[in-house]
Structure 1
Amino acid sequence: MVRDDSDERLTVRSNRAAFAVVLAWLLVALVPSPVTASIGGEIDESDIRLRAVDATDGLARYRSNPDAGEYEWKRDLPCWSRFPEIDRTSNEVCWGGSAIQHDPPVCEDGAALQPIWRRLRSDVTWWKQVGWHCPEHLLPEMTEEDFRLLSIAPAPAHMQPTGGEVLVNKPTIVFTEGGVQTFRTDLLGYGIDVEATPLTFTWDFGDGARPLVTAELGRPYPDFDLARTYTTPTRTHITLTATWTGRYRVDIDPLHKWRDIDGTAFTTASTPDFEVVELRSRLVTP
């Protein structure tokens, strides 16, 4: 199944990210930050991504017009990489604590990018805006929350027999239809392609028994791949919950690479209500 949702926009994500970028600029402007680190020595991935984009934009603006603005910007190795020739003016900045990432990370999309520094033109001290970072950190990331904002068409819940009644002690067949759904949308102002693929199907037969979880679509009669036999009369319906995985591709990615979304989305569909009935045989006088 193919969908082209050109008007669909991840506005919640965009608004949240826009606010985060503005907040980051304010923090950088008001309080110089020599390290990219979090409590306990663990470097936060989302923090690196935000800082990397922010600092790269600042560096690009500076390079386009080096005489404009109150800051100078540069890419440079951390001072510990140049030991013992430590730059005296950045010595205090370099030795900021054990939480600093001293070695280049292993990146998916190529060699790690050097840290970015800036300083006031009136000052001698360089302050680090972001440490080692990867090419992929400069691309928008589609999260599980973003993925769940897409209008994925539910996998339909089909059953046999149809007609509003099924028999006790006779198999009731279920099946669905599934395939990759494609979307065209944007994330933080960047165009992206998204694919949603069904992973598992969970059938709840409404009889109080454990649901049937499978990766199979099932098939209609005369096949009985997916079926449930009701043992008592009741009135119920069958609910199908599909679990979807996703991947995305960003227009500005020079590798034009598909990237897996870390998380899943869910859709739900149900059959109409039906009766589970019991047929009893009885002797009649001819």
Structure 2
Amino acid sequence: MSVLLAWMAVSIVPAQACVGLDCDGPDVTIGQGSLTAAYLEQASGGLMIASNAAPVDHPYTYQLSHPCVVDDRENGGCRSSDFRQCPAFPGRVVEDLVPERRRLALPTPDGTTRTIDGFPTNGAAVGTPVGPWIVGARQCIDITALNPPPSPAEVFSYFQRLPLPTLTTQHQPPGDGLAGLPVIFYTDSPTTQTFTVDIRGFTVVIQATAQQFTWHTGDPTGQIVTTDPGQPYPAQTIEHDYRSGTYTAYLTVTWGATFTVNGSAPADVPGTTTTDGPPVTFDVRQARTVLTNPYD
């Protein structure tokens, strides 16, 4: 996905980007095929930087359009075939765009409003855009602040709400156990799962991995904590001795994850989350010796 498509996607996918999730993120507003900004400032090297943090009483609001969007609006079709390659900076989003500005109504001492150049406001309230859009010169603009790539903390908020699998507790013997004979625990449920999430138009792939297994044994001895999912007999690694009785056990799994953004190098999700598997109930019986006559 090109950087341009990454920000243009914001105008067409926000309703689907967080299906089933509560979305939090920067305030990114879309006009008629353009990305809006509150402020444009000149940086070193001739690069313009867009942001939504404008000085008090700044006289303009802006929209940043792809040259094709401007051509289509003005001429009924895209005539901007000379696409430019903007400089690339690590962690920045820089695109070839046409900035357009519109006057804002500013306050006056007498309680009315004015514009920076005297264009009539017709009584518009302070901060209201007035007049037509003024088309500026096409140039490379840094739009990172308008829709930056998801931060690790933002990815973690999504990770916490993913439908991670609940791992099933298996035990041996599969029916009733015997006092004095250890019960074997393990899970054969998947311990990794991959999720692809759209976060503000960025494709985020989250690879979840089970990192810790807490086996709730159901008796007063408490829990068994391991870093492996166990194995069935005869390669068992997790055992527990019970007295006779009825017990309910279940498995809590602690999940960690890594993530990529638009195919980037993997990074760690800064935190873990847990899931509880379904409970399993079983009896442990006391074996009793019975004398028999071998000749009967």
TM-score, length-normalised on structure 1?
0.55
Structure 2 gaps, min length 5: 1-15, 30-36, 40-49, 55-60, 66-95, 105-114, 118-143
- Flag the structure with larger Rg: 2
Q: In proportion to residue count, which structure has more helix?
A: 1
Q: Is the 8 A contact 1:144 1:265 kept in 2?
A: no
Aligned residues: 188
- Give deviations 1:144-196, integer Å, cap 9, x for gaps: 33112111122221110002x10111110011234321112211232221110
Verify: 1:159 aligned to 2:162, yes or no: no
Query: Which protein has greater RCO, CA pairs closer than 8 Å, 6+ apart?
Result: 1
SS at match of 1:17: coil
- Give deviations 1:69-106, integer Å, cap 9, x for gaps: 238xxxxxxxxxxxxxxxxxxxxxxxxxxxxxxxxxxx
SS at match of 2:64: helix
Return closer, same or farther for 1:66/1:191 CA change in 2, 3 Å cut-off: closer
Structure 2 partner of 1:283: 291
Q: How many angstroms apart in 1 are the aligned matches of 2:251 and 2:170?
A: 9
Q: How many angstroms apart in 2 are the aligned matches of 1:278 and 1:257?
A: 56
- Give deviations 1:236-271, integer Å, cap 9, x for gaps: 1211111110122122x7xx1222211112122135
Structure 1 partner of 2:280: 272
Return closer, same or farther for 1:54/1:280 CA change in 2, 3 Å cut-off: farther
Structure 2 partner of 1:243: 254
Aligned residue runs from structure 1 range 196-215, under 5 A: 196-215=208-227
The letter of the residue matching 1:208 is P
Aligned residue runs from structure 1 range 93-242, under 5 A: 138-141=148-151, 142-163=154-175, 165-177=176-188, 178-230=190-242, 232-242=243-253
SS at match of 1:69: strand
TM-score, length-normalised on structure 2?
0.53
Q: Is the 8 A contact 1:10 1:186 kept in 2?
A: no
Q: How many angstroms apart in 2 are the aligned matches of 1:180 and 1:202?
A: 17
Q: Is the 8 A contact 2:251 2:278 kept in 1?
A: yes
Q: In proportion to residue count, which structure has more strand?
A: 2
Percent identity of paired positions between Structure 1 and Structure 2: 25
Q: Is the 8 A contact 1:143 1:263 kept in 2?
A: no
Report the RMSD for the aligned CA atoms in angstroms: 3.7
Verify: 1:68 aligned to 2:101, yes or no: yes
Q: How many angstroms apart in 2 are the aligned matches of 1:53 and 1:144?
A: 25
Structure 1 gaps, min length 5: 1-6, 23-27, 33-51, 72-119, 123-133
Q: How many angstroms apart in 2 are the aligned matches of 1:12 and 1:219?
A: 35
Structure 1 ranges of 4+ moved more than 6 A: none
Q: Is the 8 A contact 1:10 1:146 kept in 2?
A: no
